[in-house]
Amino acid sequence: MVRRNSKITRQQKKIRDAFVSERTVEIIPAKREFTDVKTKKLRVAAYCRVSTFDESQSGSFELQKQTYTERINSNPDWIMAGIYADQGASGTSIKRREQFQQMLHDCRCGKIDLIIVKSVSRFARNQLDFISIYRELKALSPPVGIYRRYKLEYT
Protein backbone atom coordinates (compact mmCIF):
# COMPACT_ATOMS: atom_id res chain seq x y z
CA MET A 1 0.00 0.00 0.00
CA VAL A 2 1.43 3.33 -1.07
CA ARG A 3 0.89 6.16 1.35
CA ARG A 4 0.45 9.51 -0.27
CA ASN A 5 1.99 12.45 1.38
CA SER A 6 0.47 15.72 0.39
CA LYS A 7 3.64 17.58 1.25
CA ILE A 8 5.82 18.21 -1.81
CA THR A 9 9.48 18.99 -1.40
CA ARG A 10 11.15 21.87 -3.19
CA GLN A 11 13.09 19.43 -5.36
CA GLN A 12 9.91 17.62 -6.43
CA LYS A 13 8.22 20.95 -7.25
CA LYS A 14 11.23 22.04 -9.29
CA ILE A 15 11.14 18.82 -11.31
CA ARG A 16 7.37 19.01 -11.88
CA ASP A 17 7.59 22.64 -12.94
CA ALA A 18 10.33 21.78 -15.43
CA PHE A 19 8.08 19.25 -17.14
CA VAL A 20 4.89 21.33 -17.01
CA SER A 21 6.26 24.56 -18.40
CA GLU A 22 7.40 25.06 -21.99
CA ARG A 23 11.01 24.04 -22.47
CA THR A 24 13.59 25.87 -24.48
CA VAL A 25 15.96 23.70 -26.45
CA GLU A 26 19.21 25.00 -27.86
CA ILE A 27 20.37 23.20 -31.00
CA ILE A 28 24.13 23.02 -31.29
CA PRO A 29 25.29 22.31 -34.86
CA ALA A 30 27.81 19.50 -35.39
CA LYS A 31 31.37 20.53 -36.08
CA ARG A 32 32.33 19.83 -39.67
CA GLU A 33 35.70 18.34 -38.73
CA PHE A 34 33.97 15.48 -36.89
CA THR A 35 31.19 14.75 -39.38
CA ASP A 36 33.42 14.59 -42.47
CA VAL A 37 35.85 12.05 -41.05
CA LYS A 38 35.92 8.92 -43.19
CA THR A 39 36.99 5.60 -41.77
CA LYS A 40 40.43 4.49 -42.83
CA LYS A 41 40.52 1.47 -45.10
CA LEU A 42 42.41 -1.48 -43.69
CA ARG A 43 45.52 -2.64 -45.53
CA VAL A 44 44.91 -6.39 -45.63
CA ALA A 45 47.38 -9.13 -46.51
CA ALA A 46 46.79 -12.86 -46.79
CA TYR A 47 49.14 -15.68 -45.92
CA CYS A 48 48.94 -19.00 -47.76
CA ARG A 49 51.09 -22.07 -47.30
CA VAL A 50 51.33 -25.65 -48.43
CA SER A 51 54.09 -27.91 -47.15
CA THR A 52 54.98 -29.74 -50.37
CA PHE A 53 55.12 -29.25 -54.13
CA ASP A 54 52.79 -32.26 -54.68
CA GLU A 55 50.20 -31.95 -57.43
CA SER A 56 47.44 -32.51 -54.88
CA GLN A 57 48.55 -29.50 -52.82
CA SER A 58 49.30 -27.20 -55.75
CA GLY A 59 45.57 -26.86 -56.41
CA SER A 60 44.96 -25.93 -52.78
CA PHE A 61 47.80 -23.42 -52.93
CA GLU A 62 46.42 -21.68 -56.01
CA LEU A 63 42.88 -21.78 -54.65
CA GLN A 64 44.02 -20.10 -51.39
CA LYS A 65 45.73 -17.29 -53.32
CA GLN A 66 42.78 -16.69 -55.65
CA THR A 67 40.21 -16.84 -52.84
CA TYR A 68 42.03 -14.29 -50.72
CA THR A 69 42.69 -11.98 -53.64
CA GLU A 70 38.99 -12.00 -54.49
CA ARG A 71 37.93 -11.64 -50.86
CA ILE A 72 40.19 -8.66 -50.18
CA ASN A 73 39.36 -6.89 -53.44
CA SER A 74 35.60 -7.36 -52.95
CA ASN A 75 35.54 -5.74 -49.50
CA PRO A 76 35.10 -1.95 -49.88
CA ASP A 77 36.74 -1.32 -46.49
CA TRP A 78 39.94 -3.17 -47.41
CA ILE A 79 42.96 -2.39 -49.59
CA MET A 80 45.16 -5.20 -50.90
CA ALA A 81 48.48 -5.17 -49.03
CA GLY A 82 49.72 -8.37 -50.64
CA ILE A 83 49.43 -12.12 -50.87
CA TYR A 84 52.31 -13.83 -49.10
CA ALA A 85 52.60 -17.46 -50.12
CA ASP A 86 55.09 -20.17 -49.23
CA GLN A 87 54.94 -23.37 -51.24
CA GLY A 88 56.91 -26.42 -50.15
CA ALA A 89 57.65 -24.86 -46.74
CA SER A 90 57.06 -26.92 -43.65
CA GLY A 91 55.18 -25.16 -40.90
CA THR A 92 57.44 -26.51 -38.15
CA SER A 93 59.85 -23.58 -38.45
CA ILE A 94 59.13 -20.02 -39.50
CA LYS A 95 62.80 -19.47 -40.39
CA ARG A 96 62.52 -21.31 -43.72
CA ARG A 97 59.33 -19.52 -44.81
CA GLU A 98 60.66 -16.55 -46.79
CA GLN A 99 57.29 -15.03 -47.65
CA PHE A 100 56.17 -15.31 -44.02
CA GLN A 101 59.33 -13.50 -42.91
CA GLN A 102 58.69 -10.80 -45.53
CA MET A 103 55.12 -10.39 -44.32
CA LEU A 104 56.30 -9.92 -40.73
CA HIS A 105 58.86 -7.37 -41.94
CA ASP A 106 56.13 -5.46 -43.80
CA CYS A 107 53.99 -5.50 -40.63
CA ARG A 108 56.87 -4.02 -38.65
CA CYS A 109 57.25 -1.33 -41.33
CA GLY A 110 53.58 -0.35 -40.96
CA LYS A 111 52.43 -1.62 -44.36
CA ILE A 112 49.81 -4.10 -43.08
CA ASP A 113 46.85 -3.64 -40.70
CA LEU A 114 45.30 -7.12 -40.89
CA ILE A 115 46.46 -10.59 -41.93
CA ILE A 116 43.92 -13.15 -43.06
CA VAL A 117 44.77 -16.83 -43.04
CA LYS A 118 42.88 -20.08 -43.66
CA SER A 119 43.67 -21.53 -40.25
CA VAL A 120 46.03 -21.08 -37.36
CA SER A 121 47.95 -24.17 -38.48
CA ARG A 122 48.78 -22.42 -41.78
CA PHE A 123 50.12 -19.45 -39.85
CA ALA A 124 52.12 -21.20 -37.13
CA ARG A 125 52.49 -24.88 -36.45
CA ASN A 126 52.79 -24.65 -32.70
CA GLN A 127 51.15 -22.48 -30.06
CA LEU A 128 54.38 -20.92 -28.81
CA ASP A 129 55.21 -19.53 -32.25
CA PHE A 130 51.67 -18.27 -32.73
CA ILE A 131 51.50 -16.58 -29.33
CA SER A 132 54.87 -14.87 -29.70
CA ILE A 133 54.05 -13.62 -33.21
CA TYR A 134 50.55 -12.55 -32.15
CA ARG A 135 51.94 -10.58 -29.20
CA GLU A 136 54.56 -8.91 -31.37
CA LEU A 137 51.97 -7.87 -33.97
CA LYS A 138 49.57 -6.64 -31.30
CA ALA A 139 52.31 -4.49 -29.72
CA LEU A 140 53.12 -2.71 -33.01
CA SER A 141 51.91 0.83 -33.57
CA PRO A 142 49.43 0.54 -35.18
CA PRO A 143 48.72 -3.05 -34.10
CA VAL A 144 48.27 -5.75 -36.74
CA GLY A 145 45.35 -8.16 -36.42
CA ILE A 146 45.16 -11.79 -37.47
CA TYR A 147 41.88 -13.06 -38.91
CA ARG A 148 41.44 -16.75 -39.52
CA ARG A 149 38.81 -17.76 -42.00
CA TYR A 150 38.04 -21.19 -40.57
CA LYS A 151 38.05 -22.50 -37.05
CA LEU A 152 40.91 -24.81 -36.30
CA GLU A 153 39.52 -28.29 -35.84
CA TYR A 154 41.31 -31.00 -33.90
CA THR A 155 40.86 -34.58 -35.10
pLDDT tens for the 155 residues of the chain, in order: 555 556 778 888 888 877 777 777 778 777 766 555 567 899 999 998 877 777 766 677 788 888 899 999 999 999 999 999 988 766 567 778 899 999 999 999 999 999 999 887 778 877 888 899 999 999 999 999 998 864 333 22
Residue 58 burial by Cβ neighbours in a 10 Å radius (0-12, 13-18, 19+): middle
Give the C-alpha separation, 146 to 151, whole Å.
13
Rounded distance between C-alpha atoms, residue 12 and residue 45, angstroms: 61
What pLDDT, on a 0 to 100 scale, did the predictor assign at position 9?
A: 85
Cβ-Cβ contacts under 8 Å for 152 (sequence gap 6 or more): 119, 120, 121
From residue 65, how far is each of 13, 82, 87, 121 by CA, in Å?
Answer: 71, 10, 11, 17
How many angstroms separate the first and last alpha carbons of the chain? 64
Asked if 144 contacts 137 with a C-beta cutoff of 8 angstroms, the reply is: yes
What predicted TM-score, i.e. pTM, was given to this entire model?
0.67
Residues 137, 127, 56, 60, CA torsion sign: negative
Task: Give the C-alpha separation, 43 to 64, whole Å.
Answer: 18
Q: What was the pLDDT predicted at 99?
A: 93
SS3 content of the chain, % helix, strand, coil (to 5): 40, 15, 40
pLDDT of the residue at 90: 63
